[in-house]
Amino acid sequence: MIARHLTSSLSLSSIAVGVGVSPFHLARVFRMQCGSSVHEYVHQLRLRTALSRVMDGEDLTRVALDMGYASHSHFTARFRRVFGSPPSSLRR
């Protein structure tokens, strides 16, 4: 479900409704099984998807907005935190 709706606004509640469990149960079981929160998993998946698009030379602002980030700078900050450098330098 997360992968299918990756570019949508995904809240814990909306994901829980989609899979038919309570938000509390989803958060607890997800962390137990995956080792991270649902929120962090969504960001990791978005960034991995964005990495592929960045490496293909797509416009960084378009990638940021398509992946659900509010701005290019928000995307760049998250990207740098995860991959160690901004998307523009990885592209080079």
40-80: per-residue pLDDT in tens? 999 899 999 999 999 999 999 999 999 988 898 999 999 99
> What's the pLDDT band for 13 if we cut at 50, 70, 90?
very high
- Least Cα distance to 50 among 61, 39, 40 occurs for 61
Topology of the domain comprising 12-91: Arc Repressor Mutant, subunit A (1.10.10)
Q: What is the pLDDT of residues 22-46, one digit of tens each?
A: 999 999 999 999 999 999 999 899 9
